[in-house]
Amino acid sequence: MRGYGLNRVRVGSLSSKGNDPISPEPGGGAGDWRNMSSPVAFLFDLDGTLVDSVYNHVRAWHVALREQGLELSVWRIHRKIGMSGGLFTAQLQRELRRSIDEDGLKRLRDRHADLFRELSKDVPPLPGAVDLLKELTKQGLPWAIATSGRMRTAEMNLKSLEVDPQKATVITRDMVRYAKPDPDLFVEAAKQLGTATQGSYVIGDSIWDMYAAKRCGALGIGFLSGGYGKDELERAGAMRVFDDPADMLVHLDELAPRTRE
Amino acid sequence: MRGYGLNRVRVGSLSSKGNDPISPEPGGGAGDWRNMSSPVAFLFDLDGTLVDSVYNHVRAWHVALREQGLELSVWRIHRKIGMSGGLFTAQLQRELRRSIDEDGLKRLRDRHADLFRELSKDVPPLPGAVDLLKELTKQGLPWAIATSGRMRTAEMNLKSLEVDPQKATVITRDMVRYAKPDPDLFVEAAKQLGTATQGSYVIGDSIWDMYAAKRCGALGIGFLSGGYGKDELERAGAMRVFDDPADMLVHLDELAPRTRE
């Protein structure tokens, strides 16, 4: 029997043969590699991971907040990008020590979405993003995109990535109950790919991706391309940290990306 | 004789009495605390340290570069803010693997300055910045601002900080030969305050401030308010890392801010 390496999926090993298929739900058999026999998936965050849009989100939130008289330092907004919108606004109110009613929150969210779309007319993919997805497809490796954003804000980014949400697996905020750092987006993505999060890779630029990875037994891979520091991502659980998709593509073989038959 | 604490200035100690005054140049007596008898100064960076302007600089550079067909991921621009403009453009050309002629560089710099001024019409001070400078003044502690930017881009930020460059000590790129990570800006600031960088504090949000601090024997204090991670600043030499000026103000006494008579 081979050792317990990066790629923790074992196909047809003695002990797993004939066992029930693994549940894709978080917590299902975490840590027991003998029970894992589903293919390893590559589950990507979108903003700051595949497209260079984090700083546009930061600016859109900052302008939307200031328009409503809400002053929050820009770096504090930056560090919240990628978390669930509900948690974002809850933490916002806690930090500003004032409450915002449901109408105010809706205005904020709508204004952010409008400003973001305005800023993102020609947001480029991050270096290597298109090539990385193509390489995974070419190798027959399952991949999906799972974003805390709604389809309304995600669709322009998907277009710049040359990803058709009708053909690829794309999970948005609209499709699950809870967004990051809850793992639902990644769990749903794995489910649609016919595999499990357990032992799969979650690739993202923010600590919210890394926390969500931990919660569903996935292995976190961090990218610096969203503007976090390496150490922030590692402390949040990233097993590896790369600059961006181009850097991950160079190191892809180190992730043991083997297809399962 | 007292121990060798955070505040390394000793006034009237036996060994320094009667000695020649300390040279404010870097390397002058570094490490020999018995030779230090000049007041400890608080030498502040401006953008991202006292005013919330780093992300505006990031955006202004990003737009200026794209307009000239130069694509660089936004996080890579972010991590260069605060370094000398000359080094910034040199590194830019290295990363893009193409050279830009002197005219092109001038157009870039001018366009960045215009866009930055446009974005920064109402850039706010960071929380606690105005209070921190007032408290230092009240306690009779020498402080100055030293920025890699030119007066043209700095003046709006100084205004929002309620700092009059005719009255306070403000050193800009125009006044020294080399900007950060060279220490000249901080050395000149200390000189104008009639003190030395050796044993003084350099307070900034970027690793360029921390490197410059090291080079002139100052103690680096990092702020997270420019968007760097804590670990990035510590690895670059920061002795302490605070969130922002408000956080430093709460902890001011830990820095032994004693006046010298």
Over the stretch A176-206, which tens digit does the pLDDT of each residue have? 999 999 999 999 999 999 999 999 999 999 9
Q: Are residues B42 and B65 in the same domain?
A: no
Q: Are residues A128 and A209 in the same domain?
A: yes
Suggest the residue from A56, A58, A63, A73 to mutate for an interface test with chain B (most B CBs closer than 10 A): A73
Contact B127 A55 (CB under 8 A): no
Looking at B75, B102, B119, which one is the last position of a domain?
A: B119
User: Predicted ipTM?
Assistant: 0.84
Q: Are residues B169 and B46 in the same domain?
A: yes
Q: Are residues A113 and A217 in the same domain?
A: no
Q: Does a structural domain hold residue B38?
A: yes
Looking at B85, B119, B153, which one is the last position of a domain?
A: B119
Q: Which residue of chain B comes nearest to A79, CA vs CA?
A: B227
- Count how many domains chain A has: 2
Residue with tokens 């969500």: A212
H or E element that contains A42: strand A42-44
**C-alpha span between B240 and B227 (Å, rounded):** 16
**C-alpha span between B129 and B127 (Å, rounded):** 6
Q: Which DSSP state fits A148?
A: S
Q: Are residues B146 and B244 in the same domain?
A: yes
Which residues of chain B register pLDDT less than 50?
A: 1-30, 34
Mean pLDDT of chain A: 87
Q: Does a structural domain hold residue A27?
A: no
Say whether pLDDT at A103 is over 50.
yes
Percent of chain B with pLDDT over 70: 85
Q: Which residue of chain A comes nearest to B75, CA vs CA?
A: A227
Q: Does a structural domain hold residue A141?
A: yes
Strands A240-242 and A42-44 come out as unpaired
Distance from CA of B193 to the nearest CA of A (A): 30
**C-alpha span between B56 and B34 (Å, rounded):** 44
Q: Does a structural domain hold residue A142?
A: yes
Q: Are residues A182 and A233 in the same domain?
A: yes
Q: Are residues A48 and A69 in the same domain?
A: no
Q: Are residues B77 and B197 in the same domain?
A: no
Instruction: Specify the CATH number for the domain of residue A74.
Output: 1.10.150.240
User: What is the side-by-side strand order in the sheet with A170-171?
Assistant: A170-171, A143-146, A42-44, A201-204, A219-223, A240-242
- Type of residue numbered A139: Q
Contact A75 B227 (CB under 8 A): yes
Nearest-CB residue to A227 (from B59, B78, B127): B78
Looking at A87, A119, A151, which one is the last position of a domain?
A: A119
* Domain region containing A85: 54-119
Closest CA to A231 of A245, A221, A241: A241
Number of Cβ within 10 Å of residue A228's Cβ equals: 30
Q: Are residues B132 and B207 in the same domain?
A: yes
Helix, strand, coil percent content, chain B, rounded in steps of 5: 45, 10, 50
* pTM more than 0.90: no
The pLDDT score that the predictor gives to residue A188 is: 98
Q: Does a structural domain hold residue B241?
A: yes
The pLDDT score that the predictor gives to residue A156 is: 87
Q: Are residues B144 and B187 in the same domain?
A: yes
Q: Does a structural domain hold residue B133?
A: yes
Instruction: Specify the CATH number for the domain of residue A48.
Output: 3.40.50.1000
Q: Which residue of chain A comes nearest to B228, CA vs CA?
A: A229
Q: Are residues A132 and A181 in the same domain?
A: yes
Q: Are residues A110 and A60 in the same domain?
A: yes
Whole-number Cα distances in Å, A111 to A64, A105, A108, A243, B246: 6, 10, 5, 31, 30
The pLDDT score that the predictor gives to residue B14 is: 34
Q: Does a structural domain hold residue B161?
A: yes
Q: Does a structural domain hold residue A10?
A: no
